[in-house]
Amino acid sequence: MATTKAVCLICSRATADKYCEYHYKSFDKLISNYASWKRALGDISWVDYLTKLLDLQETGSSIKDIIEKELNIQ
């Protein structure tokens, strides 16, 4: 029986990373948005950025799932 190295922190699908392909796409979006926020707002920490996004109504629910995980990891 093959053992999987890891499962997605959100949906528990087998993955080589901390997120599956689907959630990794959202995570990737978070990271590139962080770069634009830093350009626009100057120095903002990763945690502050995630916390602000969590409060925005337009933030999608799959993104919010990831934000909650990331904040727990910190």
Handedness of CA 16, 12, 46, 58 (dihedral sign): positive
Q: Distance between CA atoms of 47 and 45, rounded to whole angstroms?
A: 5
Q: Distance between CA atoms of 1 and 64, rounded to whole angstroms?
A: 34
* 8 near Zn ion, judged by CB under 5 A: yes
Stretch that binds Zn ion, among 23-31, 38-46, 50-58, 64-72 (CB under 5 A): 23-31
CB of 37 to Zn ion, least distance (A): 24
* 10 near Zn ion, judged by CB under 5 A: yes
Nearer to Zn ion by Cβ, of 8 and 50: the residue is: 8
